[in-house]
Structure 1
């Protein structure tokens, strides 16, 4: 026993610097991981008798949001493009929550007709809609076009949700108090709306496109909140955090090998889908937000968005342009 203690003391003395560095690195990594995990939705509200529609609910934070809503007793409508994945996810949610009232509906946000078809089905078959969560999205894809000829990221992330929300407004108003939650991103801070070239035909860049679409989410929320003032329908936009999901699937293959290695290391510290869903849940159900509308949130708390996201004239101009593009003008 004495020899073991002596050997340990000798080892520590010889490797004191290395051990100290390892300890500091470990503590720092733990602190960074805890900081990156963000806030947690503390609401214990039940949603029995309520109906929630979530776009892109078959994976990532959308699936975690759907599971939480099902656990609270809500009827959950999972509006998804990939029906095979959606049905598998719905089965898992039913099993985990014990809530059989989880249904799957087809929605391709890259098709305005698909959006209209879903909205019509919801209007005809649902008596109420208490929470609409515009969660689905695409990020950093090549220069693709939607079925209607729009740039893909702007079309899916903004225009599809713009049309869906507007076509479901009557049902949301009928179900007040009700909420609309738009999942944006901190990427909006570097974005601008290219009104002169909204589809970025002149000089497409996937990063520029994504930032524009996320800024559009915040501006849309702001203008929508203004238009819905005193109706009982409140609106929220948010940054969910940096999360381990499929959203970045178009980015990773384009990176140089060294960047892939760095990205893989960074992914160790980013949020899990459960952690990433917390701000969405906070905006959708927390009782303290009942009288708030049009604000932007991050880590379950209000946050001042970028100056260009507070431009009411730009928000109105974007609304008019979007309405024209989707046939609502």
Structure 2
């Protein structure tokens, strides 16, 4: 894997950091895409120490900012001519309704739209790789999700699980439509339900709200390393090199909701997403 590179979003903690360490141990050049410079730098040093590899680089990318995403891609292109693997791992859970710098509800903005723009801006570099792979972290919560195009940012009747579920449904619809568009290329794309993982997801970084709940339930959760196993499998295994557009759980293809496999809904979401992020193809 000495000549292969992988971009991992949200790489400074949890499954992102565990994935970074694992991929670095496998010999990949790892690019950690992190929002916070200080947390990212600490995670970079920890990843190097745990993996024993110095082939790890930190680049700042705030998925809640379209400007930051474009700047990340520009910096990446200055040093690399292809992307072998893109792991769209970053995610947020907002207990109270929050918005990104572009005015998007934070979960739809970060979990879906940020990754939608990032992936599309890197598509030509993925196609340039011998066999590009895109992995999108979704969730079993997608099964209760609905895309409300009349109020996609939940300005009325906001509920945390309602918002999280529809962003995770968007992840799967995006993956399936992307797979359709890439069917004649050498790039595959799949999504993952990692299981119930003990990470800081849902903990307010400023107030620490929610941390006690995570601590109390920690013994019931998978570790970040365990939760990352399926994403790493999709990123590196020859067994799945020809599989695209699927949803995986525990390294096996799993069923999705009827809405998640609706091709017309996937196309509609794609067009809406292009408009929201100002993407010109």
TM range (shorter): over 0.9
**Alignment partner of 1:306 is 2:276:** no
Are the aligned partners of 1:106 and 1:118 in contact in 2 as well (CA < 8 Å)?
yes
**Alignment partner of 1:67 is 2:21:** yes
Unaligned runs of 5+ in 1: 1-46
The offset of 1:231, in angstroms, is: 0.4
Between structure 1 and structure 2, the one with the greater Rg is: 1
Per-residue CA deviations over 1:204-237 (Å, capped at 9, x if unaligned) read: 1111111010000000000000000020000010
Which secondary structure does the structure 1 equivalent of 2:150 belong to?
helix
Mapping of residues 1-329 of structure 1, within 5 Å: 47-250=1-204, 253=209, 260=213, 265-329=216-280
The offset of 1:141, in angstroms, is: 3.2
Which secondary structure does the structure 1 equivalent of 2:234 belong to?
helix
1:265 and 1:146 map into 2 onto residues whose CA distance is 30
Per-residue CA deviations over 1:76-117 (Å, capped at 9, x if unaligned) read: 000001111111111122122221110000011110000011
1:274 and 1:202 map into 2 onto residues whose CA distance is 37
The offset of 1:265, in angstroms, is: 4.8
The offset of 1:197, in angstroms, is: 0.7
2:187 and 2:63 map into 1 onto residues whose CA distance is 23
Which secondary structure does the structure 2 equivalent of 1:294 belong to?
coil
Per-residue CA deviations over 1:133-183 (Å, capped at 9, x if unaligned) read: 000010133111111111111000000000000000011101130100000
Are the aligned partners of 2:202 and 2:210 in contact in 1 as well (CA < 8 Å)?
no
TM-score under structure 2 length normalisation: 0.95
Which secondary structure does the structure 2 equivalent of 1:180 belong to?
strand
2:210 and 2:71 map into 1 onto residues whose CA distance is 35
Larger helix percent: 1
Which secondary structure does the structure 1 equivalent of 2:209 belong to?
helix
Are the aligned partners of 2:196 and 2:222 in contact in 1 as well (CA < 8 Å)?
yes
Aligned residue for 1:16? none
**Number of residues of Structure 1 aligned to a counterpart in Structure 2:** 278
Runs of 4+ in 1 over 3 A off after TM superposition: 250-255, 263-266
1:276 and 1:183 map into 2 onto residues whose CA distance is 10
1:141 and 1:230 map into 2 onto residues whose CA distance is 41
The offset of 1:287, in angstroms, is: 0.8
Unaligned runs of 5+ in 2: none
1:145 and 1:265 map into 2 onto residues whose CA distance is 29
Are the aligned partners of 1:128 and 1:171 in contact in 2 as well (CA < 8 Å)?
yes
The offset of 1:266, in angstroms, is: 3.7
Aligned residue for 1:4? none
